Amino acid sequence: MFRLARLDGGNGLEIDRLNFLTDGIYAIVMTLLVLELKIPEGLTPDRVLPALIENGPKFAAFAISFSAAAVGWSYAYLAHSVMRRSNFIHLIMTLASLMAASLIPFAAAVMGSYPDSPWGYEPYCVVIAALCATLTIDMFVNRRALVDPRIDPRVPTAFWLSTMTVGLIAISGMPLAFWSPHAMFWIIVVVSMLIWVDYYLLSAWIGRETARIEELSDL
């Protein structure tokens, strides 16, 4: 007799292999970013420094995009600290987010090559918006099904509100880049810094929650 499909959508699926895939994809993405950093060969000594300066936009695009990839991985690391299991929706949303993350090197290459053109920032905005959309949907839908019920419910809310906010900023940046590409660059820099502050606070919050749960388990 065939077993009936689970009515809970597969809640309780193991999550470790999904974590391994996430780690691998982000490691490759971060490595590929450095391939855009190159200068012409055979330069005379007096041309090396000017060549490095000319490639400044590519170095800046590398730093921004590496930060974006690092944020994506950090999100997965923090989210999986409170998600103890998986289901089919989480599987699909994670794969979709990794597809978006894999486009970060392409977006970085366009940004570094065309820093003065609004089109240089459009791929980056689209990629970040897509990445944030998948992460927001995943956490919003699964915040009750997959998150450890002992975790403060405000933690998953902080997750999806954070990614939704960044996604909306990325969408609003698409027309803003046509107003001023240089302003768009600095907005990306500032938002990236604010995200790291947000994740610092969120990681501390999760750490306190985990410690509290461990103390309760020891009682």
> pTM here?
0.89
Q: What is the pLDDT of residue 192?
A: 95
Distance CA 195, CA 184 (A): 16
Q: What is the pLDDT of residue 12?
A: 73
The model's pLDDT over 105-154, given as tens digits with 9 standing for 90+, comes to: 999 999 999 999 999 999 999 999 999 999 999 999 999 999 988 899 99
CA gap 164, 31 in Å, rounded: 27
pLDDT, greater one: 181 or 50: 181
CA-CA distances (angstroms) from residue 73 to 8, 101, 143, 217? 28, 9, 19, 29
pLDDT per residue over 27-82, tens digit each?
A: 999 999 988 888 778 888 888 888 888 888 999 999 999 999 999 999 999 998 89
Handedness of CA 134, 144, 164, 189 (dihedral sign): negative
Asked if residues 125 and 100 have their Cβ atoms less than 8 Å apart, the reply is: no
pLDDT average, residue stretch 190-216: 92
Listing DSSP states for the chain in one string gives -PPPPPTTTTTTB--HHHHHHHHHHHHHHHHHHGGG----SS--HHHHHHHHHHTHHHHHHHHHHHHHHHHHHHHHHHHHHHB--B-HHHHHHHHHHHHHHTTHHHHHHHHHH-TTSGGGTHHHHHHHHHHHHHHHHHHHHHTTTTB-TTS-THHHHHHHHHHHHHHHHHHHHHHHHHH-HHHHHHHHHHHHHHHHHHHHHHHHHHHHHHHHHHHHHH-
Residue 7 has pLDDT above 50, yes or no: no
The larger pLDDT score, comparing residue 11 to residue 73, is at: 73
pLDDT at 202 over 80: yes
The per-residue pLDDT for 148 is 86
Which whole number is the average pLDDT over 165-175?
A: 96
pLDDT of residue 155: 95
Q: pLDDT at residue 4 above 60?
A: no
Reading the block at residue 29, the tokens are 């993405």
3 falls in which pLDDT band (50, 70, 90)? very low
What confidence score (pLDDT) does residue 127 get?
97
41 phi, psi to nearest 5 deg: -85, 160
Phi, psi (5° rounding) for residue 86?
A: -135, 170
pLDDT class for 11, splitting at 50, 70, 90? low
206 — pLDDT class (breaks 50, 70, 90): very high
Token pair of 122, please?
């459009």
Angle formed by the axes of helices 122-142 and 56-82, to 10°?
A: 0
